[in-house]
């Protein structure tokens, strides 16, 4: 494993947008492709009249996050667009897309049955996107990669281990601030930490905290057992995380074990893995099991300092600041430069 100690550099040297923004040889085509009856819209960024070269699929974070990284809750983040632009400066064509329920893609055939949208629908979209990218004349099929942020990294790993006869093979993989374990296990850890903090602050009694944890863990057990929820509302606003409207996708997402997927990635695959001491969702300490599961790959581990979950320099990782205009962290772009060029 090659470990990179990410260093802070001056902002003048580390702008998040590459020179490709003013390079008129790069164009962005609005494209569509089909995934099990769903028409997915995306942006194919490539060099005009280019010979076949490296190409990367970019997979956005979970929730209402579109092709550009813009989120319905926090606003126009734009980090995935910036990632595409930076990769252009490295000579890499990219495809980014609006997954189901976002952007121009919308819900399509699921408009009248949104509760039926599960994790498998997202994975099917990623697989169709990779096949579209592989079919482009400017794509060198021997140098294809996938970069996923957060939960998008789970879908990127699914592409790397896809054994279908027509599945394009990935040369390399970028796992940016990925989920370090099963989804509901991660949420359970947060619930326990939150109620423990509430007890310490005096806003909850120990008995109240135990009741919240008991209700949550019972719900998790039932979802895993049969895909249903206990009657009644979960306490402490936890119904916003797990409810009848999202139980299908939560159960399917939870069924995927990132450690198991990582172990199946072909040996020797170049993998870029990032974590941050300021990202509550992907702290480096919590990613140690995933790092171990990737030991058989050609792993580059990048431990970012003061970088938030949307890949920008912000040690507070404040959700309210995600949409503030800012470049990608120079620590990340420096790591990307080295990873792509190697």
Regarding whether 192 and 132 lie in a shared domain, the answer is no
Task: Give the integer Cα–Cα distance in Å for 145 and 55.
Answer: 6
Domain that holds residue 213: 184-250
> Mean pLDDT of residues grouped by 10 in the chain (342 residues)?
34 33 80 96 94 97 93 94 98 97 95 87 95 97 97 95 96 96 90 93 96 96 95 92 89 91 97 95 93 98 97 94 96 98 88
Regarding whether 114 and 168 lie in a shared domain, the answer is yes
Regarding whether 302 and 227 lie in a shared domain, the answer is no
Regarding whether 124 and 241 lie in a shared domain, the answer is no
Give the DSSP letter string of 260-294: HHHHHSPTT-EEEEEEETT-TTS-TTTTHHHHHHT
CATH classification of the domain holding 74 = 3.40.50.1820
Regarding whether 104 and 64 lie in a shared domain, the answer is yes
Q: Cα 67–256–316 angle (5° rounding)?
A: 55
Regarding whether 293 and 235 lie in a shared domain, the answer is no
The reported pTM is: 0.86
Regarding whether 335 and 188 lie in a shared domain, the answer is no
Regarding whether 49 and 153 lie in a shared domain, the answer is yes
| Tally of structural domains, the chain | 2
Regarding whether 155 and 47 lie in a shared domain, the answer is yes
Q: What is the pLDDT of residues 148-190, one digit of tens each?
A: 999 999 999 999 999 999 999 999 999 999 988 898 998 998 8
Task: Give the integer Cα–Cα distance in Å for 117 and 232.
Answer: 23
Regarding whether 20 and 124 lie in a shared domain, the answer is yes
Q: What is the pLDDT of residues 46-94, one digit of tens each?
A: 998 889 999 999 999 988 899 999 998 899 999 999 999 999 999 999 9
The number of beta carbons lying within 10 Å of the beta carbon of residue 228 is: 12
Regarding whether 75 and 216 lie in a shared domain, the answer is no
Regarding whether 237 and 199 lie in a shared domain, the answer is yes
């Amino acid at each position: 494993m090659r470990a990179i100690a990410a260093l802070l550099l001056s902002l003048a040297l580390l702008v998040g947008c590459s020179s490709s923004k003013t390079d008129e040889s790069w164009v962005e085509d609005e494209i569509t492709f089909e995934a099990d009856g769903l028409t997915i819209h995306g942006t194919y960024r490539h060099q005009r009249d280019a010979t076949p070269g490296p190409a990367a699929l970019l997979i956005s974070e979970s929730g209402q996050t579109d092709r550009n990284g813009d989120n319905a809750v926090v606003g126009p983040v734009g980090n995935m667009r910036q990632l595409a632009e930076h990769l252009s400066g490295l000579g890499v064509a990219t495809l980014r897309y609006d997954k189901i329920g976002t952007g121009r893609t919308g819900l399509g055939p699921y408009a009248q049955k949104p509760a039926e949208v599960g994790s498998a629908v997202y994975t099917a979209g990623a697989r169709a996107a990779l096949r579209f990218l592989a079919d482009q004349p400017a794509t060198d099929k021997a140098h294809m990669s996938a970069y996923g942020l957060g939960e998008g990294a789970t879908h990127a790993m699914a592409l790397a281990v896809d054994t279908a006869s027509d599945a394009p093979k990935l040369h390399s993989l970028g796992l940016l601030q990925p989920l370090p374990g099963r989804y509901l296990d991660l949420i359970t850890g947060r619930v326990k930490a939150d109620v423990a903090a509430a007890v310490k602050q005096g806003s909850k009694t120990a008995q109240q905290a135990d009741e919240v944890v008991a209700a949550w863990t019972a719900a998790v057990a039932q979802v895993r057992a049969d895909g249903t929820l206990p009657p009644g509302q979960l306490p402490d606003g936890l119904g916003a995380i797990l409810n009848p409207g999202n139980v299908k996708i939560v159960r399917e997402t939870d069924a995927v074990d990132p450690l198991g997927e990582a172990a199946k990635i072909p040996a020797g695959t170049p993998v870029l893995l990032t974590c941050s001491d300021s990202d509550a969702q992907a702290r480096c300490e919590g990613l140690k099991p995933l790092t171990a599961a990737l030991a058989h790959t050609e792993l580059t581990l990048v431990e970012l300092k003061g970088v938030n979950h949307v890949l920008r320099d912000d040690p507070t990782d404040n959700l309210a600041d995600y949409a503030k205009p800012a470049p990608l962290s120079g620590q990340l772009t420096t790591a990307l430069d080295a990873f792509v060029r190697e």
